[in-house]
Structure 1
Amino acid sequence: MTELIISSMRTEGRVQPMGLDATAPMLGWTFASSPSRSRSQTAYRIRVAACEELLVDGRSDVWDSGWRDGGNQAAIAYEGAPLEPRRRYYWQVTVRDDLGRQAESPVSWWETGLLRDGRWSGKWIGDASDGTAGRPLPQFRRSFRIEKPVRCARAYISGLGHYELRLNGGKVGDYELDPGWTEYDKTVLYIAYDITDALVQGENVAGILLGNGFYNVAGGRYTKFKDSYGAPKCLADLVIDYADGTSETIGTDSAWRTAASPLAFSCIYGGEDYDAQLEQEGWDRSGFAEGADWHEAAEAEAPSGELVAQAAPALKVMERLSPVSIAEPKPGLFIVDLGRNFSGWPEIAVSGTQGATVKLIPAELLTEDGLANQKWSGSPYELNYTLSGMGTEVWRPRFTYYGFRYVQVEGIGAITPEKDGHEACKLPVLHRIEGQMIYPDVRKAGSFCCSDDRLNRIHEIINRAMLSNMKSVLTDCPHREKLGWLEQVHLMGPSLIFNYDVEALLMKVLADIADAQQPDGLIPTTAPEYVVFQEPWDVFRHAVAWGGASVLTAWELLQRYGNAGVLQRHYETMRRYIDYLTVTADGNILRDGLGDWYDVGPNGPGFSQNTPVPLAETAIYYGLAIVMRSIATRLGFTEDADVYARLADSIKGAFNREFFDERTVLYAEGSDAALAMPLAIGLAPDAHRDALFARLVRNIEERGGRTTSGDVGHRYVLLALARGGRSDLIYRMTRSTDTPGYGYQIANGATTLTEAWDGPTVGKSQNHFMLGHLEEWLYTGLAGLDYRYLPETGRFAVKVKPGIVGDVLWAEARHELRAGQASVRWEQGEGHALEVAVEIPVNADGWIHIPVSEFDSVAVEGDGARFVGHEDGCAVYRTGSGSFVFTAKSRSDRRSVDQK
């Protein structure tokens, strides 16, 4: 047998992160696949040292956990000596397997940030320009010399709202739109960079450009809201450690010089204008001669928020899209089609005379005349570039982004490749345009595919919407609002997690939620809370399916990533929120909120039409109490757990008295959401569950496989149907192309999931992921791959239960757990044969459900699969890790084979 192999190591959910402020970071590791079966970890030992050589020699000088029994390898809290700022810590883990053999990991590391505010040498600096219309944003420069060898150098910087750091003529790193947006009066993020290789002997020059971001929404064009925490400003420390053991810090202060940048206008909502005529060649390089427009930077008032290292993955340009067609609906006005909807910006290469301006208007849709249509996405949003006249100029915006597919290009005479001549053209010539999609640099953690092309396309548009709205928060849309609406964080949480490694991002979202919490315990519907909804629109502020993300997302992080640390960190936030709901409730019923937002009804999408708002709100309230009982138990708060258990019982009793009619066996008027939420969340009386489920099924069947559920209720409809064994009906619900739903969206040209079920024709945003709950079913219900972390063992339990539905001939899914890779592929062969290939990762247990009757035969390829009985029409096997193939044949198949 092969020993265990550790393939990757994480600190706070990231691989070798730089600039962490966590004082007790969570450490975890993943195992590579093993050809041997039933492999598990029985003990581990973590060692941390100040230098790699110590670990290589088998020593540690910072922390040695000693041997600890158990299978936990997902998230173990560091318990060593207090961490020092600006220090790289090396760590290694040794594990013992079930045969008593030891395996050692490679050496990994993490690097601390400044750890607290008081360690900054630099001062906040700014300029009188504030980015409002007609007033360019500032740029800053600082020259300094290096006269001796450099061992290493780091830059620590925060620029509000956003910044670009430059060093010796080049941009530092490839991050975009940093720092991530926050409640700036609570938290301000900074980022650490390794700048060692960018420094030179002699003169060096650092430069900083600033943008407004959400810190200063000054208006001037479209805005969702107009507000400001203050004028743009920045803080930086460039720390240089020399080979001789000395150090030097270049901090921002009045020694920095500032001037107006070419960035004439920048708004996170309204777009950006750049005047290349104002560029000062070499301003961020040595040898630059400052003109009279450069002056001392002014020290600025510091933001009131605490400076904290940014721990979530940085935004980057992750995809590039080329035009699929270019039209000219009016003379001199060009429409570039980039093929699909996404979020980011266009980049252009253009040439022309000095002072000419090219206007770019991105849009999701086109008008009947074939022009850019921003009706549903926030108008006016535009990008304007004024040419310097110096050859071919390449430009894209820096501090704004938009959701779009089309770009309307104005002010040019032609679009032609750079190699073609254009001397006769008096207007600028566009040589190249591409779309650049930005989202966090998250690892792809899973994949899904099946024989049904429509399901594959649904999977595709949901994923595009998820990525388009994945920024430093999970936004509702990438244009009109760009706000972190919280209901989708937990309702779509499993869908996100199956596809991408979002542990660090979700931890940032929980920190945003904690910052947004009000003194009375209220958690608003958005975090950061930039828009505060006042009466009579305060219903948009206190809906429990939104605020409940504080509890449900933390619980999901434990179940999916084994991250118990977030429960401890945010327990007080969760406890205060439940207390707020308890005080707000009327006889344990929450009377107000958004309910099943955006359901399908005669009035068009918006407020809940089919399900009473108190029913949906109170059902979620009950679910929160149940989860809080589990969290309190997990953390050892037994008295709190008892309180939440009693609260859950009280809510359940009140809920059923208020909404359940035992005579008709209906909740309220019997909408899909009204029936499904009590079934899926556990409120329905046991004696009536079958009848309620049958009515839910009948509702959908009578509509020809269509549901009326919305943003909140739809996930529970799918959960109720899948748990009730009716994945076949879920499959039918995807078939319709003439009524609102997934198939309708695809049939009507959607390339990302839309805000409304009939979004491509009704309008609204064409890029929302809030209705993408089918994605969870594609993995767990159709391919049949699901899993949970078991805190009592520290290991993962993987469940495989294929969903054989409709005309689907095969399906497969893969997911990278914290333990390692789990996968399933099932395929229907000739006759009634079914083959299911399964991979269970090392240090995990498998529960394999093969859908056959008790009289069918199942052949198993692979030792270690133990038959444990029949359940719900499935033969159930328990396995350890490894690869297994299950082949099931019906009795009729076996007879025909025997007769031959």
Structure 2
Amino acid sequence: MHVTGLGIHGFAETLAVDEPELRVYWRVESPERGARQTAYRIRLDLMDAPGDPRGAVWDSDWVDCDATRDIPLEPEDPLLPTTAYRWSVAVRDERGRESTSEPAGFHTGYQNSHAAPPLSPNRDIMPDDSLLFRSWFADPDARWKGRWIGTTSDRPFYVRREFELDETPVRAVAFATGLGHLQLFANGAPASNHRLDPGWTDYHQTVQYAAYDLTGRITAGPNVLGAHVGNGFYAGEQGDRFFWPLYEDKTYVRYGNELPFVAELHLTYADGRRETVISDQSWRIRESATTLANVYASEDHDRRLFPTGWTAAGFDDSEWRQASFIQGPRGHLRYQSQPALTAIETRTPIEVTEPRPGTLVFDLSQNMSTMVEVSAMGSAGDRIVVRYGETLGDEGVLVMTDPEFSEFGTHVYSTFTLAGTGEPETWQPDFSYAGARWVQLEGVAPMDDDGSSGLPRITDVRGHFVSSASARTGTMTTDVDDANAILAVLEPTFASNLQSLHTDCPQIEKFGWLEVVHLLANGTQYIRDVEDLYTKILRDVMRAQDSDGLVPTMAPEIRYMTGPFRDSIAWGSAIVYLPKFLVDAYDSTGILADAYPAAARYMSYLQGKEVHGGIIRHGLGDWGVSGAYGNGHANLETAIYIDCLRIMASFADRLGKLADAVAYRNKASEVTRVYNDHLLEADPETGRYRYVSRDGLPTSITAVNQAAALQFGLVPAEHRADVEAAFIAEAEKATFETGEIGMRYLFLQLADLKRSDIWMRMARREEHPSYMRFIRRGETTLPEFWADEVRSKNHDMLGHALEYFWRGVLGLRSLESAYRVFAVDPDYTGEFASVSADFASPRGTISLRIDRGAQSTRIHVTVPANTSAVVTLPAYATTVAVNGEPASAISPDASAATLSLTSGDWRIETEGTA
């Protein structure tokens, strides 16, 4: 047995871990069948003293347990700030054999920085040793020493600090942030591959900082740290361009009007000495060559103003001025725990067209969240206009097809002004990304220009696909071309919207609407490991909550909404669903104790919204039906309310709040009774029961109404057959008569009933609603609504197909504790004769392949060590063999319906015809 994959829950990178209590995880691997961990032992040491008894921090001793996730580190003393640690895990297998992992390292930040932002610029009149402020400055080693600095303006700037060292440190870790975003440089090169650090937050409450490992980059002799800082949402800059929070109702209020920067470089030497370089007035600063940094993909960059070589040591910054101390944001500094944004792919154009003189259009072949890179040669002052778009008009130029957002089509662009160096000059945005497939360059020469045009010549165009660096987890393929085409569109749609929050789209809004976060979570985890990202998002949600308990529809609340657009349970319930998702998908409970009180306040708030003794109907209902409006408000919103009450009861059980658990269960039972009294009725003609809409828009009987009641377990047992029949009758109309809220429950009900035939008929419709209509029209991501031309063509709110394929067609889902036990329950009766997938679950890679022939079905499943699988067999199977032996010899509890399998590689063959 081998121990791999060591990590800390909630932290994608571990260079400035700032939680006082840490929970860790690992995986065990073994080629042997039935391999399982029976005990573990964790050792924690100071990094600089491994094996030295003086460096030993904690030894758990042997713990008889098969758990590999959610394990607390429990040293007697708190972890030291800004200190490097290493930890390792030893395990015993079922035969008592021991194996020890390679050590994993982590570096701490400031555990108390959540409650103490960097020092005020008034430090001169509030000295550290002042009696009045002594408690504030207590334990100075455990808090930030860097100071907020800037130009005292809201314009992008460069800032640098040159310093000299007598010897090379054995470790160099930088902490830095700049708002809205920064790029950090060290000795002439980027400090990392990160883009758009730090993540977006409510800067009045939390400001994230990133950490960078500069070990080996900082050496004896001259060194330089530098940063480029731009606006982001912190001090959003419109200029003369589109900026949504100021577009419709001008509700955007800046968090600050001075762009701030703070940094610390922590150096450790071989003899144990430590040194810290901090941001202060010794840093030199000047305005940026980026003169506009609009987060909606409009940046202006004048290469004539660019200080070539400014990130390298030896640069002459004598004309730069001294940095100024500034107040900085209100929010407390917190380590950027979610994965950084990186360029996950780079695309070059597959076609270049010239729709009109001076304009070139480059087709990157994929709609995506992109940072465009343009290289050109020309004369000093030549100005290139860069536009980005998702749709080409009839004339071959970019268009915005939604007339209500025509300004987005005309007022989103960047300008690149050349310095005229005689060499290719390259630009790409530093502080924004665009949602685009095509790049349109204006004021440029034809590609075959002989120099007679006098216009700048383009030498290269690239599109860098910017997304969360969260690990990819799963791939699936089938023998059905249409299904594969839909899967291919889903992947870039989701990736485009996984940023430092789960955005609705990468171009026109970029907001963190909360319904997509929790509704798509279970689908997203099949293709990306989103534990760390969703932990950060949950904190965003908790901080967005109002004092009365309301959870707004977006977090951070960048744009201020009113009515149901701010208060809707299908959005606000993210405060309940996200901790449940983290527990179910990743066995991650570290944030649950903090989330529970916030979720409880939200449930109390909802109780004040009840009508008819328990019905909830005040929100947006099934948003997205027929364009935008919702329907079935009481049906969906009350079902979600009941589900949240039940989830809260399970949280209360876990946290030992037994009285709360009883109260929530009783409340859920009472609201369920009201729900059925209000919405379940007999058809006056047939006498068969079904659920009807009584709230919102037209009163109706829909598949979604039935699916919601069935999926949430609200249907009385005596009426379940009737309701399932009503569901099938509506679903067989084969239209997606659902908005984005009800869609998930509609799809899951089809999955449970093994009706992929209905689902595929829906998907293949010639007219909308139809997934295949999008693909036939050449879309490479999913548009916002079921329509040919919409304002956004890269929304993942229609992406519930992803969860459907993994759960409904392949049949993979977790049954217990983050895939400690998982189900394989494929659809054996549809058109899919072959389905295969690999899924890097939290406990190891699950591989599946299902092949159906005319007389037999073969199932190949790899079950990771320390896990088990329950495989549902075809109902028509007459004989079952496992690895060439009768099923009963391998799985003693085998039944005609299922097999229980321990870890190993299993080949199941059944005879029988469907």
Q: TM-score range by the shorter chain?
A: over 0.9
What amino acid is aligned across from residue 74 of structure 1 in structure 2? R
How far apart are the structure 1 equivalents of 2:315 and 2:244? 41
Residue correspondence of structure 1 range 292-691 to structure 2 within 5 A = 292=319, 294-376=320-402, 378-379=408-409, 380-390=411-421, 391-415=423-447, 423-534=451-562, 538-586=563-611, 587-600=613-626, 605-608=627-630, 611-664=631-684, 665-668=689-692, 669-691=700-722
User: Residue 876 of structure 1 aligns with which residue?
Assistant: 898
- 1:887 to 2:909 alignment: yes
Residue correspondence of structure 1 range 66-145 to structure 2 within 5 A = 66-80=61-75, 81-117=77-113, 119-131=143-155, 137-145=156-164
Quote the offset at 1:199 in angstroms: 2.1
Residue correspondence of structure 1 range 731-810 to structure 2 within 5 A = 731-758=760-787, 761-790=788-817, 796-810=820-834
Q: Is the 8 A contact 2:70 2:588 kept in 1?
A: yes
Quote the offset at 1:653 in angstroms: 1.2
User: Residue 236 of structure 1 aligns with which residue?
Assistant: 263
- 1:817 to 2:846 alignment: no
How far apart are the structure 2 equivalents of 1:190 and 1:114? 11
Aligned equivalent of 2:284, options 251, 257, 282: 257
How far apart are the structure 1 equivalents of 2:195 and 2:267? 24
User: Residue 249 of structure 2 aligns with which residue?
Assistant: none
How far apart are the structure 2 equivalents of 1:352 and 1:291? 30
How far apart are the structure 2 equivalents of 1:306 and 1:5? 40
- 1:836 to 2:859 alignment: yes
How far apart are the structure 1 equivalents of 2:11 and 2:175? 19
Consecutive unaligned residues of structure 2, counting only runs of 5 or more, are 117-142, 246-251, 693-699
Q: Is the 8 A contact 1:693 1:724 kept in 2?
A: no
Mean alpha-carbon deviation: is it higher for 507-516 or for 725-734? 725-734
Q: Is the 8 A contact 2:748 2:808 kept in 1?
A: no
How far apart are the structure 1 equivalents of 2:726 and 2:96? 55
Quote the offset at 1:656 in angstroms: 1.3
Aligned equivalent of 2:173, options 154, 160, 164: 154
Q: Is the 8 A contact 1:184 1:303 kept in 2?
A: yes
Quote the offset at 1:15 in angstroms: 6.6
- Give the number of aligned pairs: 856
Quote the offset at 1:345 in angstroms: 1.8
Per the normalisation by structure 2, the TM-score is 0.91
Q: Is the 8 A contact 2:13 2:339 kept in 1?
A: no
Aligned equivalent of 1:719, options 748, 759, 765: 748
Compute the RMSD of aligned alpha carbons: 2.0
Q: Is the 8 A contact 1:218 1:227 kept in 2?
A: no
Deviations 1:82-119 (A, max 9, x none): 11111121111111222222222121122111223352
Consecutive unaligned residues of structure 1, counting only runs of 5 or more, are 132-136, 893-900
What amino acid is aligned across from residue 181 of structure 1 in structure 2? W
* Change over 3 Å in CA distance of 1:334–1:866 after alignment to 2: same
User: Residue 895 of structure 1 aligns with which residue?
Assistant: none
Deviations 1:17-46 (A, max 9, x none): 2111122111101122x3321111122111
* Change over 3 Å in CA distance of 1:707–1:865 after alignment to 2: farther
Residue correspondence of structure 1 range 218-297 to structure 2 within 5 A = 218-220=237-239, 221-225=241-245, 226-230=252-256, 231-290=258-317, 292=319, 294-297=320-323
* Change over 3 Å in CA distance of 1:289–1:15 after alignment to 2: closer
Aligned equivalent of 2:57, options 59, 62, 68: 62
* Change over 3 Å in CA distance of 1:295–1:16 after alignment to 2: closer
User: Residue 896 of structure 1 aligns with which residue?
Assistant: none
Secondary structure (helix, strand or coil) at the match of 1:455 reads helix
Q: Is the 8 A contact 1:737 1:747 kept in 2?
A: no
Deviations 1:228-267 (A, max 9, x none): 1112111111222333443332211222221111011011
Secondary structure (helix, strand or coil) at the match of 1:282 reads coil
What amino acid is aligned across from residue 677 of structure 1 in structure 2? A
Quote the offset at 1:179 in angstroms: 0.3
- 1:728 to 2:757 alignment: yes
* Change over 3 Å in CA distance of 1:642–1:232 after alignment to 2: same
Residue correspondence of structure 1 range 14-25 to structure 2 within 5 A = 17-25=14-22
Q: What is the percent sequence identity of the aligned residues?
A: 33
Secondary structure (helix, strand or coil) at the match of 2:81 reads coil
How far apart are the structure 2 equivalents of 1:279 and 1:458? 45
Q: Is the 8 A contact 1:731 1:806 kept in 2?
A: no
What amino acid is aligned across from residue 614 of structure 1 in structure 2? A
Quote the offset at 1:195 in angstroms: 1.8
* Change over 3 Å in CA distance of 1:435–1:589 after alignment to 2: same
User: Residue 168 of structure 1 aligns with which residue?
Assistant: 187
Secondary structure (helix, strand or coil) at the match of 1:780 reads helix
Mean alpha-carbon deviation: is it higher for 88-97 or for 725-734? 725-734
Quote the offset at 1:375 in angstroms: 4.6
How far apart are the structure 2 equivalents of 1:331 and 1:636? 72
What amino acid is aligned across from residue 321 of structure 1 in structure 2? R
- 1:698 to 2:729 alignment: yes
Per the normalisation by structure 1, the TM-score is 0.92
Quote the offset at 1:636 in angstroms: 1.8
Q: Is the 8 A contact 1:166 1:208 kept in 2?
A: yes
Quote the offset at 1:529 in angstroms: 0.8
Mean alpha-carbon deviation: is it higher for 721-730 or for 677-686? 721-730
Secondary structure (helix, strand or coil) at the match of 1:473 reads coil
Secondary structure (helix, strand or coil) at the match of 1:19 reads coil
* Change over 3 Å in CA distance of 1:790–1:141 after alignment to 2: closer
Quote the offset at 1:445 in angstroms: 0.9
Secondary structure (helix, strand or coil) at the match of 1:62 reads strand
Secondary structure (helix, strand or coil) at the match of 1:149 reads coil
How far apart are the structure 1 equivalents of 2:213 and 2:598? 35
How far apart are the structure 1 equivalents of 2:401 and 2:209? 36
Aligned equivalent of 1:826, options 846, 850, 861: 850
Mean alpha-carbon deviation: is it higher for 582-591 or for 332-341? 582-591
Quote the offset at 1:341 in angstroms: 0.4
User: Residue 697 of structure 2 aligns with which residue?
Assistant: none
* Change over 3 Å in CA distance of 1:801–1:881 after alignment to 2: same
* Change over 3 Å in CA distance of 1:160–1:755 after alignment to 2: same
Deviations 1:654-681 (A, max 9, x none): 1112212134522222112111101111
Q: Is the 8 A contact 2:12 2:337 kept in 1?
A: no
